[in-house]
Amino acid sequence: MTNSEKLFERAQLSIPGGVNSPVRAFKSVGGTPVFMQRAAGAYMYDADGKRYIDYINSWGPMLLGHAYEPVVRAIQQKAIDSTSFGAPTELEIEMAELIISMVPNVDLVRMVSSGTEACMSALRLARGFTGRNKFIKFEGCYHGHADAFLVKAGSGLATFNIQTVPGVTAGASMDTLTAPYNDLEAVAQLVKDNAGEIAAIIIEPVAGNMGCIVPQPGFMEGLRAICDKEGILLIFDEVMTGFRLAAGGAQERLGIRADLVTYGKVIGGGMPVGAFGGRRDIMERIAPLGNVYQAGTLSGNPIAMIAGYTMLKTLKDNPAIYKELDHKTEQLHTGLSEVLGSTGRPFIINRLGSMISVHFSENPVNNFADAAVADNATFNRFFHAMLDRGIYLPPSAYETWFLCNALSDADISETIKAAKESIESL
């Protein structure tokens, strides 16, 4: 029995399902989750000492690799002053100023402690600003586990085949309207059917919770036009894409302005953190300036702030990082295409920037329904074959892969070689 198997048995005695976030349980792909002990650069090492090339990178934030020395050093130095104050610090100002300097169309920023909290707060703000209650989200997009968002939320829920969530009342979800991703006509119909009642449209501008799903040409532009015409706020959930796809996130990469934006992951350099920001006239409705209440004892936590500030400052000062990441992801895409294409097995690879996913499907994967009808059983076998060869992929066909800039050409070559051996072994 491996150490991971022993730890999983032990964990199930004190933690529900043995994990603290459901997808980690490997329910989708089967088998025993791998318990990690340490990580450095592009590699993670499990409880048995085995090395893996990591394509999760803590679900996105390890853009520069694990244990990135400047971030680790900054955390160590800041911890000496205290791990929490519950009072304002100059560092929070510097962090907000840095975000505003990098991101288009953001005038004010409020720090929170998670992406879930950021999305929940942004929706509340949109409702308070517009005086409307309903909002539109997209099937397969995940905006955290706040009650109103757990309607056709993709990823973890899809992994466990959870269609309705016990504990979420009908009242909490009755104002949630859903449309297929990349379906502008469906959005227009919802807006028409609920005229004057919709506060916001919230979307992952590049979806990452049904694999990597890229917006089709004209889709985002169409959403922006509908919002402008109907007085609806457009919220970009950039918890995954923010500061990963570009210094200015998806707004910069796609050339579309959002009214509100939510952040997480990268802005904490791996620490628990989130933020939401946007136009001044909207953000001024948040307490203490306005009457839309939001609070958090650990918001602006100094350890999270210094980790995030160090990470973002590195990205701002070194814009070539994004070109390097794009190039590495393109290398992986090309290599995987050659390997999978040689087998005659149908597949689709979706990619934008340093987000990529493989779907064993004959047809394009442009929304959650497309992802759901792919041959996910083949993905599960492919996952385990890759894991056996030291390649750590997301343990679900409904998750995007994330690359880090610590990956070397040799790492990518090793990954492609493992993919060749894995697909041939199925």
Q: Which residues are catalytically annotated? A: 142, 237, 265
Closest CA to 160 of 19, 35, 349: 19
* Exposed/middle/buried for residue 100 (C-beta within 10 Å: 0-12, 13-18, 19+): middle
Token digits of residue 106? 């953001």
Angstrom distance (rounded) from CA 56 to CA 28 = 16
Distance CA 265, CA 121 (A): 17
Structure tokens at 40: 């450095």
CA 395/CA 379 separation, integer angstroms:
9
DSSP-assigned states of every residue in 286-326: BTTTSSB----TTTT-HHHHHHHHHHHHHHHH-THHHHHHH
Cα(376)–Cα(371) distance, integer angstroms: 8
What gap in Å lies between CA 264 and CA 239, rounded to an integer?
A: 4
Kindly state the helix (H) or strand (E) to which residue 338 belongs, with its residue range.
helix 320-341
Give the residues across from 135 on adjacent strands: 176, 200
**Is residue 288 reached through a cis peptide bond, with omega within 30 degrees of 0 on the bond before it?**
yes
Distance CA 406, CA 66 (A): 8
Side by side, which strands form the sheet with 348-352? 348-352, 355-359, 401-402
Q: How far is CA 25 from CA 4, 156, 211, 264, in A?
A: 12, 11, 18, 23
Alpha carbon distance 351, 353 (integer Å): 7
CA distances to 124, 174, 195, 249 from 135, in Å: 10, 10, 12, 23
Say how far apart CA 237 and CA 203 lie, in whole Å.
Answer: 6
Please answer whether residues 39 and 45 qualify as being in contact, where contact means their C-beta atoms are separated by less than 8 angstroms: yes
* Spatial CA neighbour of 368 closest among 378, 377, 359, 355: 359
